[in-house]
Amino acid sequence: MNEQERGRFYQGDGLRAYDLFGAHFTTVDGVDGVRFDLYAPHARSVRLIGQFNGWDRQATPMTKIDADCWEVFVPGVAEYAMYKYIIEQADGRFTEKADPYAFYSELRPAWASKAVRMDDYQWHDGSWMAQRTDNRDRPMNIYECHLGGFMRKPDGGVHTYYEMIDLLVPYVSKMGYTHIELMPLNEYPLDASWGYQQYGYFAPTARYGNAYQLKMLIDACHRAGLGVIMDIVVVHFAVDDYGLRMFDGTPLYESGDRSRAVSQWGTLYFDYSKPAVTSFLMSSAGLWLDKYHVDGLRVDAVSNLIFLDGDKTKGPNHGGVDFIKRFNIALHAAYKGIMTIAEDSSDYPHVTQPVDQGGLGFDYKWDLGWMNDTLGYYKLDPIYRQYHHNELTFSMAYFWAERFILPLSHDEVVHSKATIVNKMWGLYGEKFAQCKNLMVYMYAHPGKKLSFMGNEIATFREFDENRELDWFLLKYPAHDAYQRFTRDLNAIYRDHPAFWRFDYDCRGFEWIDADNSGQQIYSFMRYDENSCYLVVLNMSPVSYEDYVIGVPSYGYYTEIINSERDIYGGCNMCNFTKLRAVKPASHGRPYHLKIRIAPFAGLIFQGRTNASDHRQKKG
């Protein structure tokens, strides 16, 4: 064993514990085979069974090489050979367990671990890896995806990682997204958990193929200019007997206090007071960055790391907070240009501040408050929206406190919550109009973007992990037009730096009119160093032929997208010619435009003058 990494493992700072434990192909005294290493400090004995010894329970005892670890070298083991551990637990009972550090496993419901080589793949993404960054001053528009629910074979079977190279990658590229976020791929037993209840923390799920194929998929993403973000779960684990629970007859990974061990999901919380546990989790995350070239990690249920049971009233989770700080420090130091993203529903401050400045060290945080407030507003009958006007302006009151990502995630299209388009108030056509309006608002609002698969075609059926997206909807004009609208909006977002250059700098945003609750019209500006954009959102079913709106500078404004254009299924009440800003002043700005606004329309106009002049002339 590597003694330096071994020391880090026992200190709780290990990033490569997968080099210490698991099944590793090696050569001993000129003989090729596999070295098996297991961390099971309280086991009385450990035996190895597998295809290579006929599953003989007595054939391959392991040797305890120190107080905590067991080891055996087996010659002639074939790649993908299955194996299990028989552990004589502290109480004398025998149980069969999967290898916690296995790089691959059988397809559920079977669970035997498999010995695989992890370093044979030849990567072709050197240029991508050398140039990647955390994207703070770049566009980042994420397509969240569940591989089994994206697209299926004609017989209903799932596609492999390899097959997704020709399905997922070109589709996401054509639609204009910058990143793919994959819902958890660590091995898990229950399909309905979507991967959020795991047992194989170093093994990609066998549902879609093997580790080599997954590397090919990620490599293909990088060569297509797409970043890859992986969902990971470091809060809790599945309770299946062959997994981590009571691994060596003692609560090795969970707390010995059952009142502290059982989570709100019926799973078991990790015990962060144990250095071997924190090294296990940090190494699991490090594996994705090291062996799979993943660009970012989205950490699930961060509120449970911050507070006990994720409940602020129960007090802080000191062990979880300490763990996530060390997690972020270590991973950022080891892997250039990566991102860590917090899915955090709490109001805990400084989540995206550096640890040495009192923060948790994440690069980004999902703005779940924006998501809840925004969707709540769009559900309302327009008659009542005037009384909830601040639900759309409130986000900018706190936005600069963190580096937020605006999510319309899988959590919002399940459990009878209704899909995004179906949350909108009104009848069929009104729902589409308002959903397009919502997307203009989301894309023009400061912050990076995330949207769950299916949102881009306005699917009405909630997400089901056992079915593909309703691609047949694209045969209908409204859905086909909506997909085109999404693609065009993605292109505008990517091609116009004002919508991402100053995402986390107040120079990039300015309200024009945040208080027009009576007419339910919002307007604001987005800036970069050299350009400006006027965004207008009509939240009512009323149209306007000559709506007067103040602008900060003289010149011409060109409508670059209107959610009500006929090609997007709208009424085509648009501004087809350039509009000239003229005096007198309006909305506290020295010039004004007169614009046409259709019911429920979202509009973006591009100005021509220097952005710095705009802000100097305000008021």
In degrees, rounded to 5, the angle at the alpha carbon of residue 92 between the alpha carbons of residues 91 and 94 is: 115
Q: Burial, 162: exposed, middle or buried (Cβ in 10 Å; 0-12, 13-18, 19+)?
A: middle
Going by C-alpha positions, the residue among 253, 248, 249 that lies closest to residue 198 is 253
- Calculate ∠ Cα 272-273-274, nearest 5°: 90
Strand 179-182 and strand 227-232: the pairing is parallel
Strand order in the sheet with 532-538: 509-513, 521-527, 532-538, 602-607, 555-562, 579-581
Structure tokens at 481: 């037009």
Which residue in 27, 43, 149 sits closest to 93, CA to CA? 43
- The encoded tokens of residue 160 equal 């492999």
Instruction: Classify residue 78 by burial, with Cβ atoms within 10 Å: 0-12, 13-18, 19+.
Output: exposed
Residue 84 contacts residue 47 (beta carbons within 8 Å): no
d(CA 42, CA 65): 13
Distance in angstroms (rounded) separating the CA atoms of residues 351 and 341: 10
The one-letter amino acid at 181: E
Residues classed as catalytic: 300, 343
Token readout for 10 is 């026992």
Question: For residues 515 and 522, what is the distance between their CA atoms, to the nearest angstrom?
Answer: 8
Q: Are 165 and 220 in contact (CB under 8 A)?
A: yes
Whether the Cβ atoms of residue 314 and residue 304 lie closer than 8 Å to each other: no
Closest CA to 407 of 331, 327, 300: 300
Backbone φ and ψ for 375, nearest 5 degrees, come out as -65, -35
CA distance 524 to 528: 14
Give the C-alpha separation, 265 to 394, whole Å.
Answer: 32
| Helix%, strand%, coil% for the chain, nearest 5 | 35, 25, 40
**Token match 């591989």: residue?**
147
Residue 225 gets the label, from left (phi > 0), alpha (psi -120 to 50) or beta, of left
Find out whether 135 and 497 touch, Cβ atoms under 8 Å: no
Phi, psi of 408 (to 5 degrees): -120, 80
